Amino acid sequence: MFNSKHFRKLLALTTALALTATVGLSVMAQAETTKHFSVIEAASDQDSLSVTEIAKKCRTSIVAIETETKVVYNTYDNGYPFGMFGYGYGYGYGGRSNRQQEYTETAAGSGIVLSEDGYILTNNHVISGADKITVYVMPEDGETEEETYEATLVASSESNDIAVLKIDAKGLTPATFGDSDQLEIGELAVAIGNPMGSVHGSVTAGIISATERELTIDDVTISAIQTDAAINPGNSGGGLFDSYGNLIGIVYAKSSSVSIEGIGYAIPVNDVKDLIDQMINDPDSVQAQTKGSQIMLGITIVDITEAMSKQYSMPVGVYVREVSEMSAAERAGLTKGDIIVEFDGETVTCADDLNAIKAKQTPGDTVEMKIDRNGKEMTIEIVIPQPTEVETTSDK
């Protein structure tokens, strides 16, 4: 039998539940409307790409670069260049006459297309001192031959290790910039470049291994992105891309690197994008930046942190990746693979320590430097060189 009393109670309960749900939905809608915009959530709305898709999207935004530099050196009747057996040895020896010889040195690197009309970004060390710069642009179809252009230098920054070139081209595919401040350890990283100067458009993939890694190159410290994507000589100036195919770093690589696999570095785009704009829009102001003096020992170094020390059984300090020829470091006997642990009696745990201690020195002074060489501690003496003029285009 139909019970109206029970029906009314059921109807009241159903109505109450409906009103509660409506109010709840209204509150949720209001919360969604007033919610602040999030860069991270906006990025997460994008569909990430596969490595294949990233390669298709980004390869034509990377160019190959070849440089030619004329080198002149003194030689003697015996055919040996000046200084081959040490600084000053052989000069005028036995009354032999000297003469000059010249040859052209070639080198290779990579670059990133910034604009449709031919602005190209690369590392400063890729083009520094070059007499001729040639850029090779990959065709869109991937089948026709590369187009070749002679490039002119627009502006460069030694202290940031970037340079902007210009080629007379149209219809290029510029890279899209990402946000290097939002990187997370473990996310996908894809490097595209010209390794060994012979594999234009080569693609390697890995992850973001670390961010804000202090890396000192030729006495200039860079806060770098670290990746395990394979990076080799010739990749310098190429692109490091995120999982959406956006440029997040300018790859840095040199012919001499740490003898540990799976460690590569890139300059975060957020650190230099304002400078890049300035280089293109007002290059004269960049080149006219004030110059400062800096004592350069002639070494490229990498920090050995506590974690790396434990993992690789090395002392904490700075690892010498490269020693420049005829530098103060070379004359002191410092070699690739040495680890500097003390300078002028003060402990060195990172590049910042070494730079701070070095800045206190007076040119001409002889300073003791304690190093670890193949597990044996030893002390060598280095003569502090005269300061070198360097461009300063940022306050870092």
Identify whether residues 65 and 134 lie together within a single domain: yes
- What pLDDT was estimated at residue 267? 94
Beta bridge partners, 185, equal none
| Contact (Cβ atoms closer than 8 angstroms) between residue 88 and residue 112 | no
The list of the chain residues with pLDDT below 70 reads 1-46, 71-103, 141-144, 217-220, 253-260, 286-294, 388-396
Residue 373 identity (one-letter amino acid): R
Domain assignment of residue 51, yes or no: no
Evaluate whether residue 175 is within a structural domain: no
* The predicted structure's pLDDT at residue 12: 46
Nearest 5°: phi and psi at 93?
-60, 130
Q: Where among 254, 287, 320 does a domain terminate? A: 287
Upper half-sphere CA count for residue 140 (Cβ side, 13 Å)? 5
Residue 206 lies in a domain: yes
Q: d(Cα 381, Cα 369) in Å, to the nearest integer?
A: 6
Catalytic positions, please? 125, 161, 236
Task: Say if 263 falls within a structural domain.
Answer: yes
* pLDDT on residue 40: 39
pLDDT at 86: 27
**Residue 9 domain-assigned (yes or no):** no
Q: What does DSSP assign to residue 177?
A: B
8's tokens: 């009314």
Residue 354 counted as domain residue: yes
Q: Is residue 53 part of a domain?
A: no
**Nearby residues of 391 by Cβ (< 8 Å), 6 or more positions away:** 157, 158, 159, 289, 291
Domain count, the chain: 3
- The DSSP bridge pattern shows strands 317-323 and 220-227 to be unpaired
Residue ranges making up the domain that contains 238 = 180-287
pTM exceeds 0.95, yes or no: no
Q: Is residue 125 part of a domain?
A: yes
- Domain CATH for 69: 2.40.10.10
Q: Which of 244, 267, 287 is the last residue of a domain?
A: 287
Q: Are 132 and 99 a contacting pair, CB within 8 Å?
A: no
Residues 79 and 153 reside in one and the same domain: yes
Whether residue 258 sits in one domain with residue 316: no
Task: Indicate whether 302 and 228 sit together in one domain.
Answer: no
Provide the token pair at 326: 């005829």
pLDDT of the residue at 388: 61
Q: Are residues 204 and 297 in the same domain?
A: no
Instruction: Find where tokens 């040195």 sit.
Output: 105
| Of 98, 132, 166, the domain-final residue | 166
